[in-house]
Amino acid sequence: MASPKQIFAEINYEMVRKIADGGMGVVYEAAQHGAGNFRKVVAVKLIREEYSAIQEFQKNFIGEARLVADLIHTNIVQTYHLGQVGGQYFMVMEFVRGVNLEQFLEKHRATGKQIPVDLAAFIISRIARGLTYAHDKCDREGRHLNIVHRDIGPKNVMMAYEGDVKLTDFGIAKALDLMYNEEGKVIAGKDEYLSPEQASYAVTDARADLFPLGIVLTELLLGRNVFRAMDRAESRRNILSMPIPQFASLRPEIDPKLEAIIQKALQRDRAKRYQSAAEMMTDLELYLYSDRYGPTNEKLGVYIKELFGVRDPTPSSAPFRPSNPSTPR
């Protein structure tokens, strides 16, 4: 069987290197070639060979592509094209030069550094901004798509060296008429980043993305996920019943305003949780900007480059995961 490099060369894609391999997809860094020496670096997500003939996986892969095709937002990794070559489906996506949030966390753990509180809050506010757009999205007929990402976690957040924060991997998202869904029968998502609804097999809505967003915020602040256990079932039990700590007692720089945001995001009763990503984003932005000059994309970009020792303004990207003025961008 021909290699992906040989197959894609026929349609003017030069496969440079594999940058992620997991789940049902493999992601490559690729160069798209065109007339007049046109060259654009992209990411190509290819359905794994062993799943390419299984209708359920094909349907989900196509559904993901159709879903994200119209999610055009600065805080969401953009998808340009869905194609089929050599019997396999592929997506052409935006290539993000930078790191994912898991790598960002691991670098801080390795160096013994803590992520600055304001940058942690800023990163989460940008994810909330992308979720606000996705949660509010309607189709061309004006029907609300009822998108729920269902896989919010550090691997699925990319951060460019320029400081842009982008949500990616809608592979297990829930959306109207687009995605294969067995909600109530199986748990979608990673055990230590579930909402209580997901952990208890309940039907979810957009609020289910906000509890794990709160988890990621606390992980950025503390350097660890307080719900994670060695056993997957124990992680789910922690999500459902572990006493929620006062996070300021674990890191004194967390002030009462930020503590209140965290506690509201981690309400197990979704009626008491933030009712929308927009509401959570607004509280984070008021916390960041109401009385001071807060963080920006540029500030975050400088911090990431210094952290990873990036000096070349156009470095090769770290692995891609399928994961200003005083006002935020």
Report the Cα–Cα distance between both ends of the chain, in Å, rounded: 46
Q: Which residues contact 12 (CB under 8 A, 6 or more apart)?
A: 32, 33, 34
Q: Which of 21, 118, 139, 151 is catalytic?
A: 151
Give the residues across from 166 on adjacent strands.
Answer: 158
Q: Which residues contact 134 (CB under 8 A, 6 or more apart)?
A: 71, 73, 76, 147, 149, 167, 170
Amino acid at 186: V
Distance CA 223, CA 221 (A): 6
Distance CA 47, CA 56 (A): 12
CB distance 174 to 150 below 8 Å: yes
151 is catalytic: yes
Q: Which residues contact 42 (CB under 8 A, 6 or more apart)?
A: 13, 30, 31, 32, 80, 92, 93, 94, 95
Structure tokens, 103: 């790598």
Distance CA 77, CA 286 (A): 26
Provide the 3-class DSSP secondary structure of residue 43.
strand
CB distance 25 to 48 below 8 Å: yes
Distance CA 277, CA 154 (A): 17
For residue 174, the 8-state DSSP code is B
Distance CA 102, CA 46 (A): 22
For residue 275, the 8-state DSSP code is S
Distance CA 73, CA 115 (A): 26
Distance CA 61, CA 46 (A): 9
Which positions are annotated as active-site residues? 151
